[in-house]
């Protein structure tokens, strides 16, 4: 599953892999630690997927997105979601205008959604009617205004943030919209050494500036190259088995899934794992994904597509723990937990959340 690579493609993959390494180095001057989080967000960007970033206040969620936007020569819009935000504040509105001849016509005034990178800050602070304004744009890369379909310039991806603590006055995202996010990334508190460095930087005159490293054309080519990364048939079957194992009452589902999950991941779960795994392979300079890529991206791709039962919540079992158990018990025995030193380590956010 994949396309043939010519010499030009192989050279482009090697060159872009080196450029992405430099991009990460530049990003590290402003974002301390959080390497796994940066990897997951970049994996979404280079496969033109949408990403939901979940974390308590002060963990640089917004700063991460803004810094990434500075490293690309892409149009960037920040939308601060509030309870009084209207759909027209996002997609735009048709206004009646009069020309010099006195003729009146409706003209569509484009909203902030017409950008390449959208920062949807605190997306769960606005009512479902406004949240739904994003749905068509996220899925179809277009909006409907005045009976006309208005395409959105590519590349296009929504990077949304969400605070999981304060639930008063918030509106949980509907399942249909959660499924449109390729990944749900959970940011936990930094390690002690990282926090010390953060305090040193933010309480001094240190103010690093970022220069664009990837042009719009380069990002478009990166996305096209990512789609060509080979997916071996055995890996495709493996991912399919993983996702099907999350569905209770299915043939592949183990007994603990029937007890802990009331609703499993759909086909988009398979697509999300493969798309983001392809990005990992490209960032590493490879032309083919492997099982390690799948294991690393299974957590952010599946945790928001699974609905735990009350029994699981009562036992303190979250979706990450279920995904880990599924991977561990797969008959292929490919998963080695020690190889995945990522953000799925037990932390404050995972103890707080069973589902993002």
Whole-number pLDDT of residue 50: 93
| Higher pLDDT, residue 250 or 182 | 182
Q: What is the pLDDT of residue 327?
A: 92
Residue 207 within a domain: yes
Half-sphere CA count of 226, side-chain side, radius 13 A: 26
Residues 6+ apart with CB under 8 A from 107: 94, 95, 97
Q: Is residue 340 part of a domain?
A: yes
pLDDT value, residue 8:
83
Residue 251 sits in a domain whose CATH number is 3.40.50.300
Residue-level pLDDT at 343? 43
Indicate the SS3 state at residue 198.
helix
Residue 1 lies in a domain: no
Burial class (CB in 10 A: 0-12, 13-18, 19+), 327: buried
| Residue 159: both structure tokens together | 């990077």
pLDDT for the residue 351: 44
Lookup: tokens for 166? 């304060």
pTM value? 0.86
Percentage of the chain lying above the pLDDT 90 cut: 33
Q: What percent of the chain has pLDDT over 70?
A: 92
Q: Which of 39-43, 88-92, 147-151, 311-315 has the highest mean pLDDT?
A: 39-43
Write down the pLDDT at residue 62.
Answer: 85
Residue 149 domain-assigned (yes or no):
yes
Q: How many domains does the structure of the chain reveal?
A: 1
Q: Is there a contact between 82 and 126 (Cβ–Cβ < 8 Å)?
A: yes
Residue 29, in any domain of the structure: yes
- Whole-number average pLDDT of the chain: 85
User: Region 243-266: what's the mean pLDDT?
Assistant: 89
Structure tokens at 44: 């979404």
Checking if the pLDDT of 354 tops 50, the result is no
Confidence at residue 27, expressed as pLDDT on a 0 to 100 scale: 87
Min mean pLDDT across 115-124, 162-171, 246-255 is at 162-171
Specify which residues 119 forms β-bridges with: 78, 159
Q: What is the pLDDT of residues 125-165, one digit of tens each?
A: 888 888 888 888 888 888 887 777 888 988 999 999 888 77
Question: What DSSP character marks residue 315?
Answer: T
Q: pLDDT class for 289, splitting at 50, 70, 90? A: very high
Banded pLDDT at 339 (limits 50, 70, 90): low
Mean pLDDT of 112-116: 91
Average pLDDT over residues 257-267: 90
For every residue of 226-272, DSSP letters joined together read: HHHSB--HHHHHHHHHHHHTTSTTSTT--HHHHHHEEE---HHHHHH
Residue 72 lies in a domain: yes
pLDDT, residue 316, reads 86
pLDDT at 2: 54
How far is residue 319's CA from residue 337's CA, in Å, rounded to a whole number? Answer: 16
Q: How far apart are CA 248 and CA 246, in angstroms?
A: 6
pLDDT the model gives residue 172: 84
**Whether the bond into 213 is cis, omega within 30 of 0:** no
pLDDT of amino acid 355: 43
In a domain, 131, yes or no: yes
The label of the residue with tokens 């490919």 reads 334
CA atoms of 279 and 48, how far apart (whole Å): 10
DSSP for 85-150 reads --THHHHEEEEEEE-TTS-EEEEEEE-TTSSSEEEEETGGGS-HHHHTHHHHHHHHSEEEETTEEE
Q: Coil, strand or helix: which one is 157? A: strand
Q: Is the pLDDT assigned to residue 344 strictly greater than 50?
A: no
2 domain residue, yes or no = no
Which domain does 338 fall in, by range?
7-352
Rounded-to-integer distance, Cα 336 and Cα 329, Å: 11
pLDDT single digits (tens) 30-83: 888 888 889 999 999 999 999 999 888 888 788 888 888 889 888 899 999 988
Residue 48 falls in which region: left (phi positive, over 0), alpha (psi -120 to 50) or beta: left
Write down the pLDDT at residue 31: 84
Query: CA-CA distance, 82 to 130, in Å (whole number)?
Result: 10
- Compute the average pLDDT of residues 211-217: 88
């Amino acid at each position: 599953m994949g396309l043939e690579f010519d010499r030009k493609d192989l050279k482009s993959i090697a060159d872009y892999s080196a450029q992405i390494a430099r991009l990460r180095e530049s990003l590290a001057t402003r974002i301390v630690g959080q390497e796994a989080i940066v990897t997951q967000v970049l994996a979404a960007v280079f496969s033109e997927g949408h990403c939901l970033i979940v974390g308590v206040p002060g963990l640089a969620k917004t700063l991460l997105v803004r810094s990434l936007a500075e490293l690309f020569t892409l149009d960037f819009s920040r939308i601060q979601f509030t309870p009084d935000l209207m759909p027209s504040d996002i997609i735009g509105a048709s206004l009646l205008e009069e020309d010099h001849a006195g003729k009146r016509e409706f003209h569509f005034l484009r909203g902030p959604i017409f950008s390449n990178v959208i920062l949807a800050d605190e997306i769960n602070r606005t009512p479902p009617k406004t949240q739904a304004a994003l749905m068509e744009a996220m899925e179809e890369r277009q909006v409907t205004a005045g009976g006309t379909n208005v395409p959105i310039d590519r590349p296009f991806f929504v990077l949304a943030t969400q605070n999981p603590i304060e639930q008063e006055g918030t509106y949980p995202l509907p399942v249909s919209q959660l499924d449109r996010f390729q990944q749900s990334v959970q940011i936990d508190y930094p390690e002690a050494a990282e926090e010390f460095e953060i305090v040193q930087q933010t309480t001094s005159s240190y103010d690093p500036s970022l220069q664009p490293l990837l042009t719009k054309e380069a990002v478009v080519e990166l996305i096209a190259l990512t789609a060509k990364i080979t997916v071996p048939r055995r890996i495709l079957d493996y991912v399919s088995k993983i996702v099907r194992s999350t569905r209770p009452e299915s043939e592949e589902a183990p007994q603990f899934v029937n007890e802990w999950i009331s609703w499993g991941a759909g086909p988009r779960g398979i697509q999300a794992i493969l798309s983001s795994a392809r990005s990992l392979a490209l960032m590493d300079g490879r032309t083919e994904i492997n099982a390690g890529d799948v294991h690393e991206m299974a957590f952010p791709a599946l945790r928001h597509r699974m609905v735990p039962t009350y029994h699981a919540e009562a036992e303190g079992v979250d979706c990450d723990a279920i995904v880990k158990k599924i991977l561990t018990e797969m008959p292929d025995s490919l998963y080695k937990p020690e190889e995945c030193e990522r953000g799925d380590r037990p932390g404050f956010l995972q103890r707080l959340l069973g589902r993002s």
